[in-house]
Amino acid sequence: MTLVKNLDKKEITYKFPQNFWWGSASSATQMEGASNIDGKGKNIWDYWYEQEPYRFYDEVGPSDTSQFYYKYKEDIKLMKEIGHNTFRFSISWSRLIPNGVGEVNKKAVTFYNNVIDELLKCGIEPFINLYHFDMPFELQKIGGWENREVVEAYIKYAETCFTLFGDRVKKWFTHNEPIVPVEGGYLYNFHYPNLCDFQKAVQVAFHTILSSAKAIQKFRELGLEGKIGIILNLTPSYPRSNHPSDLKAAKIADLFFNRSFLDPSVKGEFPKELVELLKVEGYLPTYEQEDLQTIQSNTVDILGINYYQPRRVKAKENIPNPDAPFLPERYFDYYVMPGRKMNKYRGWEIYEKGIYDILLNIKKNYGNIECFISENGMGVENEERFRNQDGMIEDDYRIEFIKGHLKWLHKAIQEGANVKGYHLWTFMDNWSWTNAYKNRYGFVSVDLDNNAKRTVKKSGYWFKKVVEQNGF
């Protein structure tokens, strides 16, 4: 069989360092299901789906996700079988503390303890992320991250997690892709609360960074073993040309979408150029002077890097409408590079070298901080057409996608980048916010019409061999 022949191939061109972190990533709202039982409180996704189900693909909501809540033992066994030595997931704030503040849900504590213990029993290290887009709805009622009170509620939530699980969990992350709730909720209307308000966006961003620093401070005050960091989706901003106007456009895009969170998280300070730009435009956040000291003093130990696609920009071609709501695109236009390679299902460019460029930038400009690729993946629509007679989805396109990125990741390691692992998005097909199950990303397929039955894809077996050889 061709598959076996390929998997048994012994030549290893790309060998990875010993103890490399091989695994995948997911999030509570996207995989757990059980969104309204066992004491779980409502989060913004539960509420938004109730209000506007038509905004979600095929009107599939968060209660219909992949049912990890019930099937975690089966899933963790499969993770082990396909080679995971690490797994990144998130805790649902509204499951653990239903109203966001107050009483802890004992059934949630039992669930997360069971998941952590099962992972460790299978030799898989748990990497826990505290916040993945899922604000408890009771806290969103008072403004969510717009409100300073929510920062304090988050610190209490983080402390609760550290205290309950910190004896076994040694890798913690404060936020996943914190720029996304800013963009989606406050600029471009693809996350709740669906606003277009740049001033609120800036305030949300500031409070998110402050919450991260305060959680790191609390972690260290508790004297816990392990490391704590943040997970950022770093999207390189490539200029159309070397013309000064295109270069400036790319620099400003990078300030808004990458350095706004990267610099304060790793360096403890916001980029001066970004602060000056916001000052000129009249959009500085409200803060207390001591907040800047808190951010400066509590930088991350480790950086998770999510990479999917590049950002290509050029100088503005038309004068912006001064009466339109302020958006970052006031300073640049997007650029479609001719001949680019595309994932046509997601509408994203595939540019494998981007992962290398990110890592070399981290090495050069951010102290070569310890990092890992915490998400990278390819979503494809209607994967059932690739299911063979034996019932396995032959996702060769995903294998080629991963290979292409791992080659550039390997090159970065050879050049001294301090990168310790690679996590695919995601372990099994899961619910992707408003896209629901339109695009599938997993090593494992999930049949929603058959009790969420799991079947390992060809990429899962390929990954198993890669981990066994520590390369390919």
Is 290's pLDDT higher than 80?
A: yes
Tell me the domains of the chain and their CATH numbers: 2-469 (3.20.20.80)
User: Which amino acid appears at position 422 of this protein?
Assistant: Y
Helix (H), strand (E) at residue 425: strand 419-425
pLDDT at 260 over 50: yes
Segment among 5-9, 91-95, 97-101, 287-291 with least mean pLDDT: 5-9
Q: Which residue in 118, 125, 138, 177 is the catalytic one?
A: 177
Q: What is the pLDDT of residues 22-39, one digit of tens each?
A: 999 999 999 999 999 999
What pLDDT score was predicted for residue 65?
Answer: 87
Q: What's the pLDDT tens digit per position in 379-436?
A: 999 999 999 999 999 999 999 999 999 999 999 999 999 999 999 999 999 999 999 9
**Residues 205, 285: contact at Cβ < 8 Å?**
yes
pLDDT at residue 10 is higher than 80 = no
pLDDT in tens, 202-223: 999 999 999 999 999 999 999 9
In one letter, which amino acid is 328?
P
List the alpha helices (DSSP H) in 20-147: 28-31, 44-51, 68-81, 93-96, 106-121, 137-140
**Is 400 among the catalytic positions?**
no
Quick check: is 349 catalytic? no
Asked if 423 contacts 21 with a C-beta cutoff of 8 angstroms, the reply is yes
Choosing from 138, 183, 352, 375, the catalytic residue is 375
154, containing H or E segment: helix 148-165
Chain-centroid distance, C-alpha 359: 17
The pLDDT score that the predictor gives to residue 196 is 96
pTM recorded for the entire structure: 0.96
Do 420 and 370 touch, CB atoms closer than 8 A?
Answer: yes
Q: Do 61 and 117 contact (CB within 8 A), yes or no?
A: no
| Residue 420, phi then psi, degrees to nearest 5 | -110, -5
CA–CA separation, 142 and 124 (whole Å): 38
pLDDT in tens, 400-412: 999 999 999 999 9
Predicted confidence (pLDDT) per residue in 313-330, tens digit: 999 999 999 899 999 999
Half-sphere exposure of residue 137: CA atoms within 13 angstroms, side-chain side: 15
* Adjacent-strand bridge partners of 443: none
